[in-house]
Amino acid sequence: MHTLAQLKSGQLAGITRLTLSENLSIFPTEILSLADSLEILDLSNNQLSALPNELNKLTKLKIIFASNNHFETLPESLGQCESLDMAGFKSNKIKYVPAESLPVKLRWLILTDNNICSLPDTLGERPRLQKLALAGNQLTQLPSNLTQLTNLELVRISANQLTECPDQLLALPKLAWLAFSGNPFTRTDIDIQSVPVVPYSSFALQNVLGQGASGVISKAVWNKPTDDFPDEVAVKVFKGELTSDGYPEDELQACLKVGGHASLVKSLAQVNEPDCLALVMQLIPEHYNNLGLPPGFDTCTRDTFKMDFTLPIEQISKIVKQMQSVFSHLHDNQVSHGDLYAHNTLFDQDANIIFGDFGAATMYHMLNEKQQGQIQQIEARALNYFIEDLLSVCAEEDKTSNEYQTLANQVS
């Protein structure tokens, strides 16, 4: 985090990344003095509602974040920034996205949690676009020319007002991660009660085990021990009414619809109270670790891994077989996970996996037969990318093995 005082004094000359959060209501023009170096500009958590027309003077600017501000219109000056390829304006008050606001080199656009009712056709004229996050808006339809986005790989359109399945997305050749729950076209009367409902007061939360876009997972113990559940459990308490992937209640229902599988986190109970929605799960043993790390700015949609991390081909093969079984189980139950990634997978030293995080999951039994088949194809592409990512960390000495070649041929 930097300060406005540092910027004005010239202390930040030559920096490539600037982060300012000081309740700003006006864009500090001193930022323009960083034109020769600035690549990433983070102005999140301020009170900004406009950006200057001179923004294009930042000729090296690649990424801009301005989440949690007061923008009502996506600034047109963004479209004049020739090197800009990522814009994040989550949780503003944006109603309008002008055609001129979308940079020509746009690769990653985040407009989650705004008030957008429509998008310009120019969105379909951004061929480099790989990642598009639109959850939590008021969209009733999408531009028909999104069929042109042949590099689009990840889309979030959950929690909008779409009355029809956006067929223009389903046939895209690279789309692999799609979240679309919480729209009128996905509404269903199904109310799954596959696990018992328990009061929030029946357990006590202990240390935090992890958290993501949709909630915080903590270790918990029952206030009154019972033979119905293990003494120690994990509890995911969902955040608010909207997440970056959709509504918590949709995640809960999709998770319960999937049911049990040896390689999935086991659901034990649910909390469904006016001020609290939570899922009680089996506590994962401490010897399990994350298989991968989330994508970065450079990889955009593809997972990353710890430095020097490798796996023998025998373990990769075992992990893949388990994930293929999970994939079949999900789609036998007509649920698309939407986030099939190594970073949502835990594994132990014997390559046993536990897969979770249903924040982007969607039940799709209400779609027609063709659409259901396309959803399965999209998720199958994610499975292939998962295999490719694991092969990228395969031990060097195993890359000439028949087993490696078999997996590589499977995804080629």
Domain boundaries, the chain: 4-186, 200-282, 290-411
Q: What CA–CA distances, in Å, run from 310 to 317, 392, 398?
A: 13, 9, 11
Mean local confidence (pLDDT), 155-162: 97
pLDDT at 244 over 90: no
pLDDT tens digits along 368-403: 999 999 999 999 999 999 999 999 999 999 999 999
Query: Among 345, 334, 332, which residue's Cα sits nearest to residue 386?
Result: 345
DSSP-assigned letters across all residues of 213-282: SSEEEEEEEESS--TTS-SEEEEEEEPSS--SSS-HHHHHHHHHHH---TTBPPEEEEEEETTEEEEEEE
Structural tokens at position 203: 């357990």
Query: Among 89, 203, 86, 251, which residue's Cα sits nearest to residue 154?
Result: 86
CA distance 52 to 76: 9
Give the per-residue pLDDT at 192. 76
- 362 and 181 Cβ atoms separated by less than 8 Å: yes
Q: Which segments are annotated as binding site for ATP?
A: 236
The three-state secondary structure class of 66 is coil
Identify the CATH homologous superfamily for domain 290-411.
Answer: Transferase(Phosphotransferase) domain 1 (1.10.510.10)
pLDDT at 240 over 80: no
Predicted model pTM: 0.94
Identify the CATH homologous superfamily for domain 200-282.
Answer: Phosphorylase Kinase; domain 1 (3.30.200.20)
**Candidate from 91-105, 234-248, 272-286, 341-355 with smallest mean pLDDT:** 234-248
Give the per-residue pLDDT at 191. 73
Record: fold of 4-186: 3.80.10
Residue ranges of the alpha helices (H) in 98-224? 167-170
pLDDT at 229 over 80: yes
CB atoms near residue 139 (< 10 Å): 21
200 compared with 215, residue with greater pLDDT: 200
In sign, the C-alpha dihedral spanning 367, 369, 374, 376 is positive
Structural tokens at position 91: 């949780």
What's the whole-number average pLDDT of the chain? 94
For strands 203-211 and 345-347, give the pairing.
unpaired
Q: Which percentage of the chain shows pLDDT scores above 70?
A: 100
Give the per-residue pLDDT at 193. 77
pLDDT at 360 over 90: yes
pLDDT at 125 over 90: yes
Q: Which segments are annotated as binding site?
A: 236
